[in-house]
Amino acid sequence: MRAEEKVLKDPVHNYIHVRDPLIWRLINTRVFQRLRRIRQLGTSFLTFHGAEHSRFAHSLGAYETMRKVLDHFSRNFGREWDERTRLAALAAALLHDIGHGPFSHAVERAVGWRHEEWTIRLLREEEELRGVLDAVDGRFAEDVAAILDGGSPHRILTSLITGQLDVDRMDYLLRDALYTGVAYGRFELERLIRVMSPGDGDVLVKSSGQQTVEQYMLARYFMYTQVYFHPVTLGSDLLIGKIIGRARKLWREGRLAEVPVFWSPWLEEGQESRGVLSVEAFLAMDDAVFLAGLHQLARSDDPVLADLSLRLLHRRLFRSVEVPGLTPEAERMCREAFERAGLDPEAYLGFHTAVVDGAGNREPVWLTDGRRGRINLFQVSALLQSLAPVAVTRIYYPEDLLDQMGERAKSIRALLASLAEGFPEQREEGGNVS
Amino acid sequence: MRAEEKVLKDPVHNYIHVRDPLIWRLINTRVFQRLRRIRQLGTSFLTFHGAEHSRFAHSLGAYETMRKVLDHFSRNFGREWDERTRLAALAAALLHDIGHGPFSHAVERAVGWRHEEWTIRLLREEEELRGVLDAVDGRFAEDVAAILDGGSPHRILTSLITGQLDVDRMDYLLRDALYTGVAYGRFELERLIRVMSPGDGDVLVKSSGQQTVEQYMLARYFMYTQVYFHPVTLGSDLLIGKIIGRARKLWREGRLAEVPVFWSPWLEEGQESRGVLSVEAFLAMDDAVFLAGLHQLARSDDPVLADLSLRLLHRRLFRSVEVPGLTPEAERMCREAFERAGLDPEAYLGFHTAVVDGAGNREPVWLTDGRRGRINLFQVSALLQSLAPVAVTRIYYPEDLLDQMGERAKSIRALLASLAEGFPEQREEGGNVS
Amino acid sequence: MRAEEKVLKDPVHNYIHVRDPLIWRLINTRVFQRLRRIRQLGTSFLTFHGAEHSRFAHSLGAYETMRKVLDHFSRNFGREWDERTRLAALAAALLHDIGHGPFSHAVERAVGWRHEEWTIRLLREEEELRGVLDAVDGRFAEDVAAILDGGSPHRILTSLITGQLDVDRMDYLLRDALYTGVAYGRFELERLIRVMSPGDGDVLVKSSGQQTVEQYMLARYFMYTQVYFHPVTLGSDLLIGKIIGRARKLWREGRLAEVPVFWSPWLEEGQESRGVLSVEAFLAMDDAVFLAGLHQLARSDDPVLADLSLRLLHRRLFRSVEVPGLTPEAERMCREAFERAGLDPEAYLGFHTAVVDGAGNREPVWLTDGRRGRINLFQVSALLQSLAPVAVTRIYYPEDLLDQMGERAKSIRALLASLAEGFPEQREEGGNVS
Amino acid sequence: MRAEEKVLKDPVHNYIHVRDPLIWRLINTRVFQRLRRIRQLGTSFLTFHGAEHSRFAHSLGAYETMRKVLDHFSRNFGREWDERTRLAALAAALLHDIGHGPFSHAVERAVGWRHEEWTIRLLREEEELRGVLDAVDGRFAEDVAAILDGGSPHRILTSLITGQLDVDRMDYLLRDALYTGVAYGRFELERLIRVMSPGDGDVLVKSSGQQTVEQYMLARYFMYTQVYFHPVTLGSDLLIGKIIGRARKLWREGRLAEVPVFWSPWLEEGQESRGVLSVEAFLAMDDAVFLAGLHQLARSDDPVLADLSLRLLHRRLFRSVEVPGLTPEAERMCREAFERAGLDPEAYLGFHTAVVDGAGNREPVWLTDGRRGRINLFQVSALLQSLAPVAVTRIYYPEDLLDQMGERAKSIRALLASLAEGFPEQREEGGNVS
């Protein structure tokens, strides 16, 4: 009887297969279990109610996909890595997101963290995790980190985690599509893996797999335009920034009566930069702590902070208007109009420009065939060439407050209308799809 | 141009259709938005990692299913209710779960609440919700409550929310199956609705739909045995009870240094029975507040409370052994063995008996056909008759602590082994499926 | 670089993986390619229009499932067969249906063939196929045949092709469910395989897999009651028997002006029993030849044969009435009533009794667990015990002709009504589902 | 109780809903039932074995999609047509493919028919069908024909059957994707319908639906490149042309000993153009008659015709090599090389150029929004602009014969290699996917 294979039921891959005891032990660390309390898509659940899944599920899926890719490389191309390197690659795929905090992109923007750095720091410093990794050997944690941060000699393994054809994206597109309920993110995972082969430092793609890769790249494009950059989600992220901004201001001025439990790293500027943010404090920060803190802030004496917090809890979000672009002058005019109307622009006015690069930053994707050698897919695919970066700029504001203000809001409305001139009407904020 | 139909993308029903402005306003109340922060399946996500969906999504699905059933009754049988009653039925389906708290079944057991009562209380007392309902008319809230609690003259509407063929179950089976990733809960929803017809006070089923109903009942049976009553989930629920029990004890004895924010209703016994639990306090209790509180308790001076809290946060769960049954004498022996070994049985020993009644309490399901009048499906279906209630009893305990105790755990192990004699070995705790 | 793995895209299994050149060569034989022209579900496409798939697709699926089961036995239990036996098992799964003719069950009943015998005969006698098998060695064809007919010492391999847990059924339930569009046939294939283990001569099932097997058995039960034994399909099969019967009668009497091409084996009784049916003649018989022949028969001088043939081509099927049972006396009365009304009962009256045994003939399914040894699932599963064989008897007749006959049909109608007394009204013939 | 709604179970749409008795009667005509015997994708089942579905299923799906679109226009925009026009639109969607013969594209090319003309001719001339249509009124058949051929004043209805956003394509993309097993053809049908609105003579699309339409257009592009124009399928079509060509030649020269039953329209040139092809003869031509005829031709005295026929029956297809283009001179050189080697180029050499226009001939798709009026999607979508027509040229030949010819094939091989210079290696002919 063999070492038992463990399986975890998964709605995307059917089963996650775990054969290596190391992987099982990593899954059971507190660092990894914490990912259950961090939503994969941040505030997207306020737009697509099904998108309530966690980074825990996604991380398992990224691991499973890496397992399948390495299995394919070994089975069909005889490309094997030594056992230790194979484990490091699987561990890197599993752990690539451990440095995320709650509502990561929104909060990171507000407080200036980088989740990639925290992932590496946890790999090095968190005791339990380090213990599991050190049980392989004393260099193992560093080798996992090197695959993640690009310092590894196994460039191809790094590219499988953060490249055009990486297991991170392969899992999240399928998973986010399933949970949101949209068809946009679907692509042929098994065929994509089949057309991939291991090159020297890169993944190569059989030329007959061109359309398979195109479909996968388009899945990404559609998920960005339809889901990740949905104006309601961007507005929710912006609201998180407003809440943290207001709370920080009050705290700095000594006017925040009650600091929500475990929130101090978000309030005290520079904890991170001064290196005083401990691993323990970091690990306590998850979606639950963030949302529970909002309940506390919603009872704040400061009416603005209370209002902003309740907006997120009760989904009374800002509305947006799309504009052709924004000059500093236009931004200033908006701020002044808000101030004149008695609305603090720091709290109630937001500008946001989203840039979708459908082509994933144009990093090459190498096609090969027996006769022609290798060629960059971007050179031969008119479809991918067409995916130029597109910038969309929006102004966010609380439509409900404007309604209540009546006449006083008139000049704000006139200004917004003139800035949006000639642009499509905003999507209704109501449903999640127009 | 008509009153616009709003839609919400949903992974189960594809779209949730909202045409009535009342329903839209109800969705936007804080009472309903709060359901986003309450997991549909409580601690099941610790067993099936995909099961992270909320009661918000399920409630929308129950509403959508009710909409489809009423539409079918109207379109194919000409059975219409007056507009006000139709809206009440839709509202009742949408709001049927608003009285749930976090980890509902586990916590309710620990503190003695009933979510059905809270649903009614919120309908009557919560100001914002009441305002939306009163805008129909002053009796409307009571009529919605009556459909939910069985006091309505429209018995068939009540049965569509809590009967053998109810929209609650129809949605949750499909939704929980999708999110956990198991196929067990699937049944033919559209065909089930098609074979249903409106009787006087009951739903009737065409006799040719017998197998369709059987499949639906079996979906329920399988979901209970495979998912809802999974031993790991039951053990997680039991752990929640232990945590609350320990915290209450310490609080009562004045030894709980820090009360987690918004936790007092769970600690002070009898808040509910004495009627002192306010609507505001109730609404603050959600999964986030519960889990954030665990972080606080995990830092408690009391090592037992800290350990129990960390067990849930880090998924270091109790293990279980299945036993043929338990006499009071056997329970006493277990407790004494734990005490002798220095383990507090209040904290570390649990007994649990799960009773699955595959037939859903045997309430009749009425088949009809032109010639024979109506007949109870339970009389003619050998399949359903076979679904007798089955009780499974398990003893829960911390295997890891026993491991650390070495020799001291010997008599506990011997006792558990003797009680489990002749029973199947426990499923491995590791994966979520054996 | 390895021997290349070939894949075939499949809507059920996603990909069929072919690594052994032998399997690829078998797929490319004319015997196997012929299965593309034989519908998997015979006349079911007249009831469920999606069910147009062939035995070719199913046979690939059975092979793929066998491949997965053997892989699981090897990977998780170290149970290996020698390479030659492994190939024989895969070949047996692939070829198990090659002896089927068009509309197999209906035609076999009419002319007295057995497809199992033809499968063996082709394995032994068809030159091209034999050549591929003999390339392994001169005993190989016999060893494949032995796995199929139960003569092999590897009893477990036979049971994997025709047992309670066989790859034939596993594929056809999923495939037929997909193509008909019903959810009834779905079960958890991957989990079912996972709970299976190799015993000495049998497949064993982990006791924790009880519900998985129950679900699979119920999938079979529902597919039989809802799809395979649908009254419209049974009536279509019966019509095929009537056509062949009429054509044979005319041929015997020298009144069949034109014998459809390649039809002689169906017309000349006893070709088979007298051993004069050649392999070549057998291989020419497929759905296309059968249906093209119907076009020829539809132009027959005999109005009855022409009418019956057009009925199948144009889907003007018989209607049925369900009766509690039929005595020889009752059958005689029906025949006489038809004769009196001028309708030939040989052509226009049919009796059919379908017996569904939900439990698949009660062959044991062995559960195992560490403590109790092995136990038959039928002993412990109340669900499976409830699946007693059920007989349903129906009388088939041409409702449209009765309509045209007006008064003359009165006594036929009265007789049918009295025989059906107390039974549910027939399903409407029109749609495929009531 | 209403006029009963009939339903047909469907793997794509779940149910096809039929409420209008006219539609039910049309489904039951022999003209429509004949479509059960004509594969939707012609020879594609030789490449993708799952693609065995018929035009019957697709036609029901096109009808169902039309029903949904008209329902959406009525419900959400109040756009109603009079009952008679609504029925004509539904009938046109249902009947749009009745003029197809077996392996339509391949055979049409060989014999010079146009299925669109046969559809109209059947509408006008086939007695049973005409009877059903005339029961509405004497102009109804013509009005259905007018919607199909563009002569109707209701231009928008025509565009819903043959336009960029037509129900024909909507159904076939989803259906062909399901049956082949590829994900490429999937798009969000319900959302696509939701963003459509009725303009004056066109369908309009909400500007927020741009990506939804792009996804749908790309589904078409991928299905063409990956499925419809798969080289193996194109080679199978080419083989059909070779068979018919050879049979015609022999027939013309009086050397075809046996004419397959019902095959004369394919053999006698100009039956169609001389108007001598009767409706009866046309209706007898289906896949079954075609394939049964192949069995007859496979027994022909002419070895070439016998070989070609067996190639299709046993899937021994031609191989192809992709070339950058072909001059008449190059074609002549190929023919001569074949002749010199003793292979008849009429029978064994084929040239084929496939042109995929991903953008569906660039017909405009009109986006609208409140502010900007209407704009052609092709003007604003870089993605769609990138879908330029692409031509792929291939030479087909029997690799197996070349193998047998040894040295004699050397110059053919050299020629093919030189023509293919610099082009990707051909996909292996073996599996259906590379």
Q: Specify the pairing of strand B203-206 against strand B366-369.
A: parallel
Given this model, what pLDDT does residue B370 score?
62
Q: Which of B363-377, C118-132, C346-360 has the highest mean pLDDT?
A: C118-132
Q: What is the pLDDT of residues D82-113, one digit of tens each?
A: 999 999 999 999 999 999 999 988 888 888 78
Residue B43 confidence (pLDDT): 97
D237-317, which class in CATH? mainly alpha
Is B338 in contact with B344 (CB distance < 8 Å)?
Answer: yes
What CATH number has the domain spanning C6-180?
1.10.3210.10
Contact between residue A49 and residue B40 where contact means Cβ atoms under 8 Å apart? no
* pLDDT over 50 (residue A235): yes
Q: Is D23 on the interface with C (CB under 8 A)?
A: no
- pLDDT digits over B98-157, tens only? 999 999 888 888 887 889 999 999 999 999 999 999 999 999 999 999 999 999 999 999
How far apart are the C-alpha atoms of C174 and C187, rounded to whole Å? 7
pLDDT of residue A371: 62
Other beta carbons within 10 Å of B130:
17
The whole-number pLDDT of residue A430 equals 39
* pLDDT-derived band at C269, boundaries 50, 70, 90: confident
**CB burial readout C394-404, b (16+ within 10 A) else e:** bbbbbbebbee
Give the pLDDT of residue B430. 39
> How high is the pLDDT of residue C112?
79
Number of continuous H segments (helices) and E segments (strands) in chain A: 23, 9
Instruction: Look up the CATH number of domain C319-376+389-434.
Output: 3.30.70
Pair C344, C302: CB distance under 8 Å: no
Counting other chains too, the contacts that B278-281 makes at CB distance below 8 Å and 24 or more residues apart are B279/B121, B279/B122, B279/B125, B279/B126
Domain ranges of chain D: 6-229, 237-317, 320-434
Most A CBs within 10 Å: which of D170, D189, D190, D211, as the mutation test of the A interface? D211
Is it the case that residue D33 has pLDDT exceeding 70? yes
Shortest distance between the Cα of C337 and any Cα of chain D, in A, equals 29
Listing DSSP states for D288-305 in one string gives HHHHHHHHHHTT-S-HHH
Angle of the C210-223 helix axis to the C167-180 helix axis, nearest 10: 50
Q: What is the mean pLDDT of residues B58-83?
A: 95
Please give the C-alpha separations between residue A85 and each of A70, A82, A90, B366, D82, in angstroms, as whole numbers. 11, 5, 9, 63, 71
Could you tell me what percentage of chain A is helix, strand and coil, using 3-state DSSP and rounding each to the nearest 5?
Answer: 55, 10, 30
CATH class of the domain at A233-317: mainly alpha
Minimal CA separation from C336 to chain D, in Å = 31
Per-residue confidence band for A139, with pLDDT thresholds at 50, 70 and 90 = very high
Residue in chain D nearest C39 by alpha carbon = D52
pLDDT of residue A352: 96
- Reported pTM: 0.95
Contact A387 D383 (CB under 8 A): yes
State the pLDDT confidence band at C428, using cuts at 50, 70 and 90: very low
Residue B309 has pLDDT above 60, yes or no: yes
Q: Which subunits count as partners of chain B given 3+ CB pairs below 8 Å?
A: A, C, D
For residue C433, the model assigns a pLDDT of: 43
- One DSSP character per residue, B111-177 reads HT--HHHHHHHHHHH-HHHHHHHHTT-TTHHHHHHHHHHT-SS-HHHHHTTSSTT-HHHHHHHHHHH
- State which residue of chain A sits closest to B16, comparing Cα positions: A431
| CB-based contact, A183 to chain B, within 8 Å | no
Average pLDDT over residues C404-431: 77
Q: How far is A407 from chain C (nearest CA, A)?
A: 59
A434 and D195: CB-CB below 8 Å? yes
Cα–chain center distance at A70: 25
The CATH number of A6-229 is 1.10.3210.10
Whether residue C384 has pLDDT greater than 70? yes
Contacting residues for C26 by C-beta, under 8 A, at least 6 apart: C32, C91, C94, C95, C129, C132, C133
**The tokens of B16 are what?**
């949730």
Rg, chain D, Cα only: 24
What pLDDT digit, counting tens, does each position of D300-346 carry?
A: 999 999 999 999 999 999 999 999 989 999 999 999 999 999 999 99
DSSP state string for A106-163: HHHHHHT--HHHHHHHHHHH-HHHHHHHHTT-TTHHHHHHHHHHT-SS-HHHHHHHSS
pLDDT tens for residues B25-56? Answer: 999 999 999 999 999 999 999 999 999 999 99
- Using 50, 70 and 90 to split pLDDT, how confident is the model at A70? very high
Query: Coil, helix or strand for C83?
Result: helix
Tell if the CB–CB gap between D371 and A195 is shorter than 8 Å.
no
**Taking residues D21-39, what's their average pLDDT?**
98
Residue C399 has pLDDT above 50, yes or no: yes
Q: Please determine, for residue D350, whether its predicted confidence score (pLDDT) is greater than 80.
A: yes
Neighbours of chain A (3+ CB pairs under 8 A): B, C, D
**Tell me, what's the pLDDT at B371?**
62
For the stretch D208-249, pLDDT in tens is 899 999 999 999 999 999 999 999 999 999 999 999 999 999
pLDDT tens per residue across span D255-301: 998 999 999 989 987 776 666 789 999 999 999 999 999 999 999 99
Is the per-residue pLDDT at A370 higher than 70? Answer: no
Q: D10 and C49: CB-CB below 8 Å? A: yes
CB contact under 8 A, D424 and A218: no
For residues C227 and C176, the answer to whether their CB atoms sit within 8 Å is yes
Question: Could C28 and D261 be called an inter-chain contact, meaning their C-beta atoms sit closer than 8 Å?
Answer: no
Q: Map residue C241 onto helix, strand or coil.
A: helix
- Averaged pLDDT of chain C: 92
Q: Does B104 touch chain A (CB under 8 A)?
A: no
Using pLDDT thresholds of 50, 70 and 90, give the confidence band for residue C282: very high
pLDDT of residue A434: 36
Sequence-distant (≥ 6) Cβ neighbours of residue A21 within 8 angstroms = A3
Q: Give the CA dihedral D38, D43, D46, D49, nearest 10 degrees.
A: -40
Task: Name chain C's partners: 3 or more CB pairs within 8 A.
Answer: A, B, D
Asked whether residue C78 carries a pLDDT value surpassing 60, the answer given is yes
Summarize pLDDT for B245-281 with one digit per residue, the tens. Answer: 999 999 999 999 999 999 998 998 777 666 678 999 9
Task: Round to whole Å and give the CA distance between C184 and C174.
Answer: 9
Question: Residue B15: CB partners within 8 Å, gap ≥ 6?
Answer: B7, B8, B9, D190
d(CA C334, CA C350) in angstroms, rounded, equals: 10
Helical spans, DSSP H, in B382-422: 382-385, 399-405, 410-420
Burial class (CB in 10 A: 0-12, 13-18, 19+), D312: buried
- Check residue C1 and give its pLDDT: 39
Q: Exposed, middle or buried by CB within 10 Å (0-12, 13-18, 19+), for D91?
A: buried
If one compares A433 and A102, the residue with the highest pLDDT of the two is A102
Q: For residue A49, what pLDDT is reported? A: 97
Asked if B424 reaches chain C (Cβ–Cβ under 8 Å), the answer is: yes
Domains C6-180 and C319-376+389-434 share a fold: no
What is the sign, positive or negative, of the torsion defined by CA atoms of D43, D45, D51, D52?
positive
Give the pLDDT score at C254. 94
- Residue D369: pLDDT over 80: no
State what percent of residues in chain A have pLDDT above 90: 80
Q: Around A25, how many Cα atoms within 13 Å sit in the side-chain half-sphere?
A: 13
pLDDT of residue D107: 86
Structure tokens at B247: 């915290």
Q: What is the pLDDT of residue D424?
A: 57
pLDDT tens across A187-223, in order? 999 999 999 999 988 999 998 899 999 999 999 999 9
Q: What is the pLDDT of residues A36-67, one digit of tens each?
A: 999 999 999 999 999 999 999 999 999 999 99
DSSP C151-204: -SS-HHHHHTTSSTT-HHHHHHHHHHHHHHT-STT---HHHHHHHEEE-SSSEE
What's the confidence (pLDDT) of residue D428? 45
CB of C224 within 8 Å of a chain B CB? The answer is no
Contact D279, D98 (CB under 8 A): no
**What is the H or E stretch that residue B100 is in?**
none
* Ramachandran area for residue D325 (φ above 0: left; ψ -120 to 50: alpha; else beta): left
Given a cut of 60, whether residue A322 has pLDDT beyond it is yes
CB C31 within 8 A of CB C129: yes
The confidence score (pLDDT) of residue D273 equals 62
pLDDT tens column, C11-43: 999 999 999 999 999 999 999 999 999 999 999
In this predicted structure, what is the pLDDT of residue A215?
93
State yes or no: ipTM above 0.90.
yes
Sequence-ordered list of residues with C-beta below 8 angstroms from that of D59, at least 6 positions apart, any chain = D32, D35, D93, D94, D95, D96, D97, D98
Q: What are the percentages of helix, strand and coil residues in chain D, rounded to 5?
A: 55, 10, 35
Instruction: Categorize the per-residue pLDDT at C422 as very low, low, confident or very high, splitting at 50, 70 and 90.
Output: low
